[in-house]
Chains A and B, each alone.
Chain A
């Protein structure tokens, strides 16, 4: 996650002087803590107690299956506040700590020594604070080394650093702008989790928030002359709804369209190809449509001209046609061929939709009344599939292509409607049949009652 300079463990230039002052304060505190540690525990009882505790801890350590490398850095740094403070538990849960990496893996020094001077000596390679401009290269030292990374995760990519150098962030960093995002801004510095871990700042559902940390911050982005409303717009989109509300992790987030390590806005020419990574058929149909040439002539990008980019809404059947809500009327006017085609396509979609609803309604009534129409309801789902296909086919902008699907769907709805009517007639027949049967049964009951009365009525002169 991109930390703001004041809260980040790796402060940016804007907070540099404040950060240095805090570092000095923390070093003074550190010296006090070390002195207290070295002073030990007073008294013989304390010594024996400490010995006992030490023996117990030693036994436990000896029993543990995996020998843990000593990390004396945390003994002190876990007691500080940021920026020098590290939450030992958070660091322990990070993928680096899990794989056995220590503080010294990035910061240098000797974590096996309890002597602060020795642990942080230049001789032991101690680097201390890592400048922002040095972060990508430092991370890349391991993450670009395929042979080294294979030892941890053979399927992990090792092109992040080279991709980063091609990104807008990387290019600006190379020009000396340390304000731009470096690795730790998105991944954090000390609590890095794999992207498939929900705790990770780059977990698909968290990516937009991570990017928004800087890109939605108007104050921070001042000077870059780019909008800061992308996250607000994206939050209203169908893509955000899919990933954040419905939990569909395959739905697009910022990095899906812009790239992650090589993040940059897609150009006009490549927008279609970006969208087509998911919407394959739409792109194929668009490529064969009259719009392809027309848009190119206007210098308009494929998909986003109609659908927008960050705030993509769920398209409805009214998104096409001649109403004010339709995309088509942005360019087409009454009388031109496109206007007529849009109206024809819209009418076809509406008709199929209405027929599906009509069949649904009659079949629902029949089903609620107990007539088994399950197979017909199942068959009607084919019409829904046809409607979906027809909606996709609108990208061809050709009424004939769309009609192929709408006509196929209408054949299905016609059969379903007929079946619904048969079911309703059947229902009526059943109820009439019941009425006749009940009437017949009542007649028999009356006849039986009369018969019983007759045989139980004593004839004249007879006693019961």
Chain B
């Protein structure tokens, strides 16, 4: 008996590995014309893993204080071996992760994978997406450059517009009235401790729920399968699906490498809190559709302030979106068409406003 076989036997006796092996051998994934959308969830998970790994490496050198943050990132990029690569991959991977998470969300929406019994899977996924946005917002400030400093100022200002609790949110986020060193240490704390802690728990719940209920089959495919049971196809999760997923991960890795080598993430100029805000301040691309809307909204609509109305509308829209599985109870006809229409509108709105924001500057 080889050492490997001995080790397997030893573990099997204690942990029942054969049950896990058996489970893996029998786990299947539905195979149909929309199966490729399944990969985006896995890709998001892979990119999250990259974030954790590169984030830990950056943590070895990063110093979260206004006097040292910029210099430490500069040190990482110039002096630390492969520091430029790690920092660049961390930044690009963050953006790609939000992109793949958004694609995953919209695919779940349009394939109606959120319906009973997967309401909580959708809910945990949505919370994970918000957490990813929180990661992006908090991480953006950490290099302490001019663009991130003023974007954080504008971003927290917008959060401060929320009714009743706005002021409290602003002070809580900034650690005071203004964006200062206190904001930086606070954002650092959110970015490397608070958010990862919550994300890990939510991610575990999300994956467990996916595992518990299996992959959803879109209603149209399900109807076809019920009509023609021979048309039903399933793929073994291990190794067939996992190998395909692995291919998707490698593609993501190649894209990341290319971006890091040809478009390394810029460091910019160190933030000067006393300097006037430079022109062209803008948040990360995934906040641009909201930023552009708030910029375009009139100052006063009826008796409400335009910006406040915009924030309230976005808040309500997000709430409805999150709670979607609880009022989409599978009723056919007009209700379904309305929900699909709302989804198409939301997607088109986000895409068009994001592009418009970059064209309009």
Q: Check A448–B257 contact: CB distance below 8 A.
A: no
B95 in the interface (beta carbon within 8 A)? no
Q: Check B84–A444 contact: CB distance below 8 A.
A: no
Known A370-B263, A372-B77, A375-B74: A437·B84 in contact at CB below 8 Å:
no
Q: Check A372–B240 contact: CB distance below 8 A.
A: no
Residues in A with CB closer than 8 Å to B77 are: 372
How many residues of chain B are within 8 Å of chain A by beta carbon?
Answer: 25
Residues in A with CB closer than 8 Å to B261 are: 430-431, 433-434
Q: Check A448–B250 contact: CB distance below 8 A.
A: yes
Q: Check B257–A434 contact: CB distance below 8 A.
A: yes
Residues in B with CB closer than 8 Å to A372 are: 74, 77-78, 84, 264, 267
Bound-complex Cα distance A438 to B251 (A): 9
A451 in the interface (beta carbon within 8 A)? yes
Interface residues of A in 409-464 (CB under 8 A from B): 430-431, 433-434, 437-438, 441-442, 444-445, 448-449, 451-452, 455-456
Bound-complex Cα distance A430 to B77 (A): 13
Instruction: Please give the distance in Å from A415's CB to the nearest CB on chain B.
Output: 15
B22 in the interface (beta carbon within 8 A)? no
Instruction: Please give the distance in Å from B247's CB to the nearest CB on chain A.
Output: 5
Bound-complex Cα distance A431 to B85 (A): 12
Instruction: Please give the distance in Å from A440's CB to the nearest CB on chain B.
Output: 9
Q: Check B243–A375 contact: CB distance below 8 A.
A: no
Q: Check B74–A456 contact: CB distance below 8 A.
A: no
The total number of A-B Cβ pairs within 8 Å is 61
Instruction: Please give the distance in Å from B230's CB to the nearest CB on chain A.
Output: 13
Q: Digit string of B155-190 for contact with A (CB within 8 Å is 1, else 0)?
A: 000000000000000000000000000000000000
Given A371, A444, A455, which contacts B264 in the complex, CB threshold below 8 Å?
A: A371
Instruction: Please give the distance in Å from A453's CB to the nearest CB on chain B.
Output: 10
Bound-complex Cα distance A176 to B35 (A): 105
Q: Check A455–B254 contact: CB distance below 8 A.
A: no
Which of A371, A372, A433, A448 has most B Cβ within 10 Å? A372
Given B88, B240, B251, which contacts A455 in the complex, CB threshold below 8 Å?
A: B240
Instruction: Please give the distance in Å from B75's CB to the nearest CB on chain A.
Output: 9
Known A375-B78, A438-B258: A445·B250 in contact at CB below 8 Å:
yes
Given A371, A438, A455, which contacts B84 in the complex, CB threshold below 8 Å?
A: A371
Residues in B with CB closer than 8 Å to A449 are: 247
Residues in B with CB closer than 8 Å to A308 are: none
A290 in the interface (beta carbon within 8 A)? no
Bound-complex Cα distance A374 to B145 (A): 13
Q: Is the interface of B mostly helix, strand, loop or mixed?
A: helix
Residues in A with CB closer than 8 Å to B262 are: 370, 431, 434
Q: Digit string of B238-263 for contact with A (CB within 8 Å is 1, else 0)?
A: 01100110110011011001101111
Bound-complex Cα distance A451 to B84 (A): 35
Q: Check A452–B243 contact: CB distance below 8 A.
A: yes
Residues in B with CB closer than 8 Å to A438 are: 254, 257-258
Residues in A with CB closer than 8 Å to B254 are: 437-438, 441-442
Residues in B with CB closer than 8 Å to A374 are: 74, 78, 267
Residues in A with CB closer than 8 Å to B243 are: 448, 451-452, 455
Q: Check B258–A434 contact: CB distance below 8 A.
A: yes
Given A373, A434, A441, which contacts B250 in the complex, CB threshold below 8 Å?
A: A441
Q: Check B78–A448 contact: CB distance below 8 A.
A: no
Residues in A with CB closer than 8 Å to B251 are: 441, 445
Residues in A with CB closer than 8 Å to B247 are: 445, 448-449
Known A438-B257, A452-B240, A455-B239: A370·B250 in contact at CB below 8 Å:
no
Given B88, B250, B263, B267, which contacts A444 in the complex, CB threshold below 8 Å?
A: B250
Closest Cβ neighbor of B77 among chain A residues: A372
Q: Check B246–A448 contact: CB distance below 8 A.
A: yes
Q: Digit string of A350-394 for contact with B (CB within 8 Å is 1, else 0)?
A: 000000000000000000011111110000000000000000000
Instruction: Please give the distance in Å from B252's CB to the nearest CB on chain A.
Output: 10
Bound-complex Cα distance A259 to B254 (A): 72
Q: Check A441–B267 contact: CB distance below 8 A.
A: no
Instruction: Please give the distance in Å from B23's CB to the nearest CB on chain A.
Output: 19
Residues in B with CB closer than 8 Å to A369 are: 264
Residues in B with CB closer than 8 Å to A431 are: 261-262
Instruction: Please give the distance in Å from A423's CB to the nearest CB on chain B.
Output: 9
Closest Cβ neighbor of A434 among chain B residues: B261
Bound-complex Cα distance A448 to B247 (A): 7
Closest Cβ neighbor of A430 among chain B residues: B261
Bound-complex Cα distance A375 to B244 (A): 45
B266 in the interface (beta carbon within 8 A)? yes
Bound-complex Cα distance A434 to B239 (A): 29
Bound-complex Cα distance A373 to B88 (A): 15
Knowing that A372-B84, A452-B243 are A-B contacts, what are 14 other residue pairs whose CB atoms are under 8 Å apart, sorted by A's residue number?
A: A370-B266, A371-B84, A372-B264, A433-B261, A437-B257, A438-B257, A438-B258, A445-B247, A445-B250, A448-B247, A451-B239, A452-B244, A455-B239, A455-B243
Show 12 A/B contacts (Cβ-Cβ < 8 Å), sorted by A: A370-B262, A370-B264, A370-B266, A371-B84, A372-B74, A375-B78, A441-B257, A442-B254, A451-B239, A451-B243, A452-B240, A455-B239
Where the two chains meet, the residues of B that have a C-beta atom closer than 8 Å to any C-beta of A are 74, 77-78, 84-85, 88, 239-240, 243-244, 246-247, 250-251, 253-254, 257-258, 260-264, 266-267
